[in-house]
Amino acid sequence: MHLSGAEIVVECLKEQGVDTVFGYPGGAILNVYDALYKHQDEITHILTSHEQGAAHAADGYARSTGKIGVCLATSGPGATNLVTGIATAYMDSIPMVAITCNVTLPLLGKDSFQEVDITGITQPITKHNYIVKDIKELATVIRKSFRIAKSGRPGPVLIDITKDVTSNKTEYKPVKIDPILPDPEAVSAEELQVALEMIKKAKRPYVFVGGGAVLADASEEVRSFVKLLDAPVCDSLMGKGAFPGTDELYTGMLGMHGTKTSNFGVSECDLLIVLGARFSDRVTGNAKKFAHHAKILQFDVDPAEMDKNIMINAGVTGDLKESLKKMNEILSQQDHKEWIDRIMGYKSAYPMRYPQEGLTGPYIIEEIYRQTKGEAVISTEVGQHQMWAAQYYKYTKPRTLLTSGGLGTMGYGLGAAIGAKCGNPDKVVVNIAGDGCLRMNMNELATAARYQIPVIEVVINNHVLGMVRQWQDLFYEKRYSQTVLNDAVDFVKMAEAMGAVGIRAESRESFAKAFAKALTLGKPVLIDCQIDSDDKVWPMVSPGSSISEAFDASDLEEDEQ
């Protein structure tokens, strides 16, 4: 077939099984959009309100489906508007391909209209990137990009294509794309044997599950491993759902806003087994004091993560699903009843608590969990509401919490929810937002309304930048510098103006009624939930402190007495 570069782009997307893309057109990428128009019955294009929304939608599509997300943008500001979304995906190892187009080859490097070196800009935040100046290389580059994005440790890849390449023609030959499968032989038998000996010697093992377990689709292997090991389990924000939050051995999240049970238990264990986590500073607290009684055994696909943030005693490198399959074959049933009883004692002594009157963030999350029976896909923005969503919704399956963990991107969640709903049309998709975050992406509510994508936007509205204000309250002597959002924005009217349904909730009863209604409407709905400005996320670990020093409101009250 003799095709233009733009047609080759579309054919390569079809080769990869891409059914949905997110983007925004412009002059440099116009040829690609013209080719997409001719294939709109095969590839659905979602026109977002902003390119950043397109990147987040591709990210949410990828996180929730396990497929590669795809976003498109034109040159210059179109391409740079993708940068935050690409960086978000990079920090959380999300497979995504971003396709941008640039000015024609003769104009490249001459400060031409809407020209920018997007490959130079994105080099630090992509797994790999390309600029295609020769049409004969185009199909090969696209195929390589999809393989790179998905293989090993996943991540975003950017392809920049000069406009003349999209209009030039060359011979195109379709290729059958083989699935990307992990190599079981890549897992070292010697490393597994060392790990096995450490596990057998442990008296107080603890399992810490990270986002790598979700990305590797290793949840079944994780569950089997935990049962054989007979040990308590905690997780990171990114690891939610890889081990069910309803299991009796589960003790909650670890780290700055983790449970006291998990923080105390990890601080007292003699072996910490880390499954696909990178020891973020939000998890470890003071790194010098982290799990200081324990030997550390790390399983990870990326050898660069070994000894990066925390020095470990041994590691198993390779795909986590394959590593655990092999470990489960050689691990005999362990028994740690005394240790588990001790941790369960902590679990009884330090339950997650919040005020049982009035509308609060934790109540809202628990009511969403109750009404969705734990079966929803939850996306979040970043802040207090994000932590409440992590603490109070019981995730029993992987790929059901979509949140910006590494970069902490305010404005991520609504785009991600749209992408998730496009990829999972039969699932309830709820975005948990704060009022500060909503201001950064409220334009994407128009996207949901345009396509009648029935996402539910729950705004936990405290009229402040809640997490920053919490820090100001605790560590800056209540100097609320630029964190009060006391203005006249009416989110309900805004939602209605954009074509969505808007509902305000000021009590527990009104929220329960509003959410139940939202589940039945089949339309995008925004629920504006009015909560107190002083509500806080508990427990908490002060910056620079050990996670064993986690405290909550009751601890502060005792200190003041």
Which domains does the chain carry? 2-171 (3.40.50.970), 186-349 (3.40.50.1220), 361-537 (3.40.50.970)
Question: Where on the phi/psi map is residue 285: left (φ > 0), alpha (ψ -120 to 50), or beta?
Answer: left
Active site residue 1: no
Average pLDDT over residues 17-38: 98
Q: Which of 163, 260, 325, 347 is catalytic?
A: 163
Q: Which of 11, 16, 22, 51 is catalytic?
A: 51
Active site residue 334: no
Active site residue 299: no
Q: Which of 38, 113, 171, 201 is catalytic?
A: 113
pLDDT > 90: percent of the chain: 96
Identify each DSSP E strand in 31-108 by its residue range.
Answer: 44-47, 69-73, 96-102
Residue 561 has pLDDT above 70, yes or no: no
What is the rounded average pLDDT for all residues in the chain? 97
Active site residue 203: no
User: pTM for the full model?
Assistant: 0.97
Residue 559 has pLDDT above 90, yes or no: no
Average pLDDT over residues 80-99: 98
* pLDDT per position as a tens digit, 333-380: 999 999 999 999 999 999 999 999 999 999 999 999 999 999 999 999
Active site residue 506: no
Q: Read off the pLDDT band of 560 (50, 70, 90).
A: confident
pLDDT at position 503 is 98
Alpha carbons 9 and 518: distance in angstroms, whole number: 39
Q: Which of 14, 15, 67, 114 is catalytic?
A: 114
Residue 39 has pLDDT above 90, yes or no: yes
Average pLDDT over residues 37-58: 98
* pLDDT per position as a tens digit, 215-267: 999 999 999 999 999 999 999 999 999 999 999 999 999 999 999 999 999 99
Alpha carbons 276 and 317: distance in angstroms, whole number: 10
Q: CB neighbours of 26 closer than 8 A, spacing ≥ 6?
A: 73, 74, 75, 76, 78, 114
Q: Which of 440, 467, 498, 540 is catalytic?
A: 467
Alpha carbons 72 and 75: distance in angstroms, whole number: 10
* pLDDT per position as a tens digit, 140-183: 999 999 999 999 999 999 999 999 999 999 999 999 999 998 88
Alpha carbons 304 and 455: distance in angstroms, whole number: 38
H/E stretch holding 253: strand 250-253
pLDDT at position 230 is 98
Pairing verdict, β 377-380 and 314-317: unpaired
Q: Are 443 and 526 in contact (CB under 8 A)?
A: no
Q: Are 244 and 396 in contact (CB under 8 A)?
A: yes
In residues, how long is the chain?
561
